[in-house]
């Protein structure tokens, strides 16, 4: 079996070893980091650059994963390879979206049937990209699955380093709550879907415990045995526009469908178990 990954980044890096252990051949596109893709066990293709090679890989793929963010021209994969995809016949096609498509719910719950009301340019771009992929899938019989990922953390993307070096802050915005997902759980959700395709499925990929961001920082500090960083009011915090934009949305995301329909049992159902595993891996790595 052959998997083609558009945008072989952090999440795909944890799926690829699961596939290659089963004998899959994985090819992944990257803008420049071919060594990182190869280290995961995938064959790298530079894109933009090796368009002909990418185009040749599309009809050979038994499964295709799209992990690229929309840009000014919409979804970059559709922009570059729409015609090629209309002739593809994978048994599974996955698109990695985000829970940002739901927008701000002032801490309320959303599920896969909730209205899409993404706030800001990024959320709206994701909504349009999802719609474009659904339109292509309907028109050409492609087995599309959409995965709306919550905030991703995992090895190299945890709060411990900032807590250790004293740069972590507990930014307080009353009522703010986020959903999260460990990267290893993303990989097992994708693998479960590949094993049991159900077009056109939409899945929220998040853990069971939405939580305020300051609670996560405080727990990380306690795990390290370090002082809990002081609180900083949101309106006084020095933040990049990108970081500040994440605080525009507050919601709790339901994940019933990945457990009910895919049979996934999360390895890290909350941030406490996820952070404990990250720290243990650091200490024994």
Position 285 scores a pLDDT of: 66
pLDDT at 6 over 70: yes
Structure tokens at 37: 């893709």
Position 242 scores a pLDDT of: 83
Cβ–Cβ < 8 Å for 129, 248: no
Express each pLDDT in 152-175 by its tens digit. Answer: 999 999 899 999 999 999 999 999
Structure tokens at 122: 């990024």
Cβ–Cβ < 8 Å for 38, 180: no
Express each pLDDT in 232-273 by its tens digit. Answer: 999 999 999 888 888 999 999 999 999 999 999 999 999 999
Cβ–Cβ < 8 Å for 31, 204: no
Express each pLDDT in 179-191 by its tens digit. Answer: 999 999 999 999 9
**Cα→Cα distances 82→2, 46, 79, 90, 144, Å:** 20, 18, 6, 14, 14
Question: What pTM does this model have?
Answer: 0.97
Helices 120-140 and 76-86, axial angle in degrees (round to 10): 0
**Lowest mean per-residue pLDDT among 62-76, 186-200, 233-247:** 233-247
Segment 47-58 shows an average pLDDT of 98
Cβ–Cβ < 8 Å for 176, 104: no
Q: Which CATH number fits domain 2-156+180-207+253-268: 3.30.70.980, 3.20.20.30, 3.40.50.720, 3.40.50.300?
A: 3.40.50.720
Residue in 238, 216, 245, 212 with CA at minimum distance from that of residue 120: 245
Segment 70-93 shows an average pLDDT of 96
Cβ–Cβ < 8 Å for 137, 111: no
């Amino acid at each position: 079996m052959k998997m083609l990954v558009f945008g072989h980044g952090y999440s795909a890096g944890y799926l690829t070893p699961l596939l290659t252990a089963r004998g899959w051949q994985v090819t992944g596109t990257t803008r420049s980091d071919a060594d990182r893709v190869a280290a995961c066990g995938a064959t790298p293709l530079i894109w933009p650059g090796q368009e002909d090679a990418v185009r040749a890989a599309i009809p050979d793929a038994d499964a295709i994963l799209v992990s690229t963010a929309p840009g000014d021209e919409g979804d970059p994969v559709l922009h570059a390879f729409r015609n090629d995809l209309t002739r593809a016949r994978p048994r599974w096609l996955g698109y990695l979206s985000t829970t940002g498509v739901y927008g701000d719910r002032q801490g309320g719950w959303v599920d896969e049937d909730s209205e899409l009301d993404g706030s800001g340019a990024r959320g709206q771009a994701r909504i349009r990209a999802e719609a474009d992929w659904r339109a292509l899938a309907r028109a050409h019989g492609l087995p599309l699955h959409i995965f709306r990922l919550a905030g991703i953390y995992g090895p190299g993307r945890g709060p411990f380093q900032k807590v250790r070096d004293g740069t972590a802050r507990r930014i307080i915005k009353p009522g703010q709550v986020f959903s999260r997902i460990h990267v290893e759980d993303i990989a097992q959700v994708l693998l479960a879907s590949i094993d049991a395709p159900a077009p056109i499925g939409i899945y929220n990929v998040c853990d069971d415990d939405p939580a305020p961001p300051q609670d996560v920082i405080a727990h990380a500090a306690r795990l390290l045995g370090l002082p809990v960083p002081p609180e900083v009011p949101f309106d006084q915090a020095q933040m990049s526009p990108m970081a500040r934009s994440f605080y525009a949305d507050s919601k709790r995301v339901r994940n019933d469908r990945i457990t009910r329909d895919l049979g996934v049992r999360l390895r890290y159902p909350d941030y406490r178990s996820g952070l404990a595993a990250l720290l243990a891996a650091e200490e024994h790595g």
